[in-house]
């Protein structure tokens, strides 16, 4: 596993723990000699993560849509920067360049990125592991919603493991490295299994 795609807030959030966690995860990724692909911004947790990796000798590749974000938000010191036309192109490129995904705390942009890779994972479009870095219990409500979805049979139980959730960065990376994609599942209850 060589490249990890990181989704993270374009704000730093209110708790100091969020930035500390972004620094810790970034240092672990450098230790594991994993390059990072991300949204190319210099601000928020994205910026904290990119700067920490670069400062520690790691490689960071950014993928950013042209003219969508103000110029000063684009990180200009990255190892490589891809400029794409649309947000859809950006997500496709980020996925194509990466072997796995990790989400730090973030807002709608981060949530949307997580749910796209999870829903595409359950359809078998990709088989790349997806990690949730659960800093300060930020993702607990999301995990509760997943449990409700399983209980009410909107989400197959086997797909719970599509989200690898950890609050310790080294354990998260280890779990991602050793994870196996879920086998065939009857996603649709109304269609008899073949």
Task: State the residue number with the nearest CB to ligand AMP.
Answer: 109
Contact between 10 and ligand AMP (CB under 6 A)? yes
Contact between 138 and ligand AMP (CB under 6 A)? no
User: x-or-dash pattern for ligand AMP, window 76-105, by CB under 6 A?
Assistant: ------------------------------
99 CB contacts (<8 Å, ≥6 apart)? 1, 2, 3, 4, 128
Contact between 47 and ligand AMP (CB under 6 A)? no
Count of chain residues binding ligand AMP (CB under 6 A): 20
CB of 115 within 8 A of CB of 142? Answer: no
CB of 100 within 8 A of CB of 128? Answer: yes
Strands 130-133, 163-166: pairing kind:
parallel
Contact between 73 and ligand AMP (CB under 6 A)? yes
Residue found under tokens 């649309």: 86
Instruction: Say how far apart CA 23 and CA 80 lie, in whole Å.
Output: 20
Contact between 107 and ligand AMP (CB under 6 A)? yes
**Which residue among 82, 83, 89, 109 contacts ligand AMP (CB under 6 A)?**
109
């Amino acid at each position: 596993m060589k490249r990890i795609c990181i989704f993270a807030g374009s704000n730093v959030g209110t708790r100091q723990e969020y930035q500390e966690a972004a620094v810790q995860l970034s240092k672990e990724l450098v230790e594991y000699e994993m390059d990072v692909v991300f949204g190319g911004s210099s601000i928020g947790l994205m910026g904290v993560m990119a700067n920490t990796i670069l400062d520690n000798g790691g490689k960071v590749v950014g993928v950013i849509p042209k003219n969508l974000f103000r110029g000063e938000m684009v990180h200009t010191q990255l190892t490589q920067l891809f400029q794409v036309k649309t947000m859809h192109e950006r997500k496709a490129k980020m996925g194509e360049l990466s072997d796995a995904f990790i989400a730090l705390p973030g807002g709608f942009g981060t949530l949307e990125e997580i749910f796209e890779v999870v829903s595409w994972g359950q359809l078998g479009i990709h088989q790349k592991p997806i990690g949730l870095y659960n800093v300060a219990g930020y993702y607990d409500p999301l995990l509760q919603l997943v449990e409700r979805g399983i209980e009410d049979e909107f989400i197959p139980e086997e797909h719970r493991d599509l989200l690898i959730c950890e609050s310790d960065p080294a354990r998260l990376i280890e779990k991602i490295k050793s994870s196996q994609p879920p086998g065939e599942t009857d996603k649709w209850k109304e269609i008899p299994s073949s």
